[in-house]
């Protein structure tokens, strides 16, 4: 039987009813422990914003409507576009009159699963975050009084708000709730990795499975130390030693929100779901490819000032780095049809 690998033998025995031996040694098969990475079908929602078709549809309209910006040319989707993995493909975002902003547009994919929002965690929930870009003079720069006055007299929007939040005013609360309800529908949980977790042992290649093992091994990649199950984030903040932190007056990130010295230069761990669609990478957009990202961590970062204790040289080989990249490429949920909203006339 030397020609037969142990896991193959286990599978053969399994088909003969020897279930106890099933797949125990199959390196290609997900283990019960691996299934901690399976996401719930839907993100949690606040008690006062239970999702409904009307709320999601209203939120989608608002999300794609550039008339929510002062010059009526910049919508939420301008920076969080389904064409670019719900980001924008830019190193850092462009806001009001194409002003180049300091940070990359984070994807909204699976944002509903996160317990804290934005690169610096300044907003706890999607509801709290939704109005921020409209109010920022660097972004959509909207006069909210004018916005709500317009929404209130627009027949289609008035009807949509009434259907979504009957008896409630058209204001910041209902507008942000609707946008948040829509954002919670942007979910990636059917990638090759997810199918592999659910038992399809061939959904990932051998390289991708090896990459996953390297990703989670504390003595190898240790990526899962921060990109934790199930949404590939610890909802935490880390200074990862980017070169930009060594520049004069660097972006201090979380420290501006929580003035604790350890947090200088720390930013939130982003999800890696659909990450192959959201280049460039890091909060400053300084990495063009996923291989550059892994190589950065393999070096232990570029600037050691205030760097996280979790960032240190890894000694990964080139093949191992490629395996980890290959694994991250298995985190993309196949494209599904997406119907754009029909926006109300002026």
User: Interface residues with other proteins (CB under 8 A)?
Assistant: 115-116, 121, 218, 222, 225-226, 228, 234-238, 254, 258-263, 266, 308-310
Q: Is 57 a catalytic residue?
A: no
Q: How far is the CB of 39 from other proteins (least distance, A)?
A: 18
Catalytic hit among 139, 183, 320, 329 = 139
Q: How far is the CB of 266 from other proteins (least distance, A)?
A: 8
* Closer to other proteins by Cβ: residue 59 or 241: 241
How far, in whole angstroms, is CA 202 from its chain's centroid? 25
* Closer to other proteins by Cβ: residue 174 or 216: 216
Q: How far is the CB of 280 from other proteins (least distance, A)?
A: 25
Q: How far is the CB of 212 from other proteins (least distance, A)?
A: 16
* Closer to other proteins by Cβ: residue 196 or 237: 237
* Closer to other proteins by Cβ: residue 33 or 98: 33
Task: Tell me the catalytic residues.
Answer: 139
């Amino acid at each position: 039987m030397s020609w037969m690998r142990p896991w193959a033998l286990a599978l053969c025995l399994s088909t003969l009813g020897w279930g106890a031996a099933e797949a125990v040694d199959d390196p290609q098969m997900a283990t019960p422990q691996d299934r901690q990475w399976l996401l719930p079908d839907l993100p949690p929602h606040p008690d006062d914003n239970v999702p409904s078709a009307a709320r999601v549809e209203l939120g989608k309209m608002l999300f794609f409507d550039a008339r929510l910006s002062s010059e009526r040319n910049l919508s939420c989707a301008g920076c969080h576009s389904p064409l670019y993995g719900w980001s924008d493909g830019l190193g850092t975002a462009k806001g009001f009159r194409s002003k180049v902003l300091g940070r990359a547009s984070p994807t909204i994919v699976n944002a509903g699963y996160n317990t804290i929002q934005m690169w610096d965690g300044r907003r706890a929930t999607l509801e709290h975050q939704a109005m921020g870009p409209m109010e920022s003079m660097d972004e959509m720069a909207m006069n909210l009084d004018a916005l709500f006055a317009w929404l209130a007299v627009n027949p289609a929007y008035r009807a949509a708000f009434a259907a979504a939040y009957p008896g409630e005013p058209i204001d910041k609360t209902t507008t942000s709730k609707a946008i948040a309800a829509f954002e919670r529908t942007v979910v990636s949980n059917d990638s090759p990795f997810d199918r592999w977790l659910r038992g399809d042992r061939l959904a990932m290649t051998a390289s991708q499975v090896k990459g996953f093992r390297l990703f989670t091994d504390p003595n190898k990649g240790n990526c899962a130390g921060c990109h934790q199950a199930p949404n590939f984030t610890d909802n935490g903040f880390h200074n990862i030693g980017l070169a930009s932190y060594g520049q004069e007056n660097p972006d201090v990130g979380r420290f501006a929100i929580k003035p604790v010295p350890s947090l200088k230069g720390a930013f939130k761990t982003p999800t890696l779901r659909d990450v192959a669609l959201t280049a460039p990478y890091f909060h400053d957009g300084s990495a063009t490819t996923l291989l550059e990202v892994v190589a950065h961590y393999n070096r232990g970062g570029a600037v050691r000032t205030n760097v996280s204790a979790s960032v240190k040289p890894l000694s990964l080989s080139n093949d191992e780095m490629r395996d980890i990249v290959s694994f991250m490429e298995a985190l993309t949920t196949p494209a599904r049809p997406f119907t754009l909203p029909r926006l109300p006339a002026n």
